Amino acid sequence: MQAKEAAERLGITQRMLRHYEKEGLMDVSRTFNGYRSYSETDLRRAGRIRDFIATGFSTREIRAMSACLSDEGSGPCEGGIEKLTEKLMHIDRLRAELDDKRNAVLERLATLRNGLSALGTDP
């Protein structure tokens, strides 16, 4: 199938499919006239790439997990659990940092509101 139909089936753009290929995540065959031709295996691989990106993985990280992209790697794959665990830890660190920043903003907001209240001007 051609790129337009493949992209529609995956819910992504043709540009994203080309990006996956450019980043070395996919090797898509070509027709005699040079058009990309996606097989069902290619679609499954692209779907896995899309899902990894949606969970926060970069194309560099996904490339390091290439064993998890093939049909053989759709279940347990070498390094998959380790990489997903690392990603989860990274997300948890980011979340904690955002919680700290949020609390700092809330404290500053409370201080400003209390200051205005003391002056007799409520926001």
pLDDT digits (tens, 9 = 90+) for 11-58: 999 999 999 999 999 999 999 999 999 999 999 999 999 999 998 899
pLDDT value of residue 75 = 61
Q: Which residues, 6 or more positions from 123, have their beta carbon under 8 angstroms from its beta carbon?
A: 113, 116
Structure tokens at 35: 């058009």
What H or E segment, with its residue span, contains residue 59? helix 59-64
Give the model's confidence band at 64: pLDDT under 50 very low, under 70 low, under 90 confident, else very high.
Answer: confident
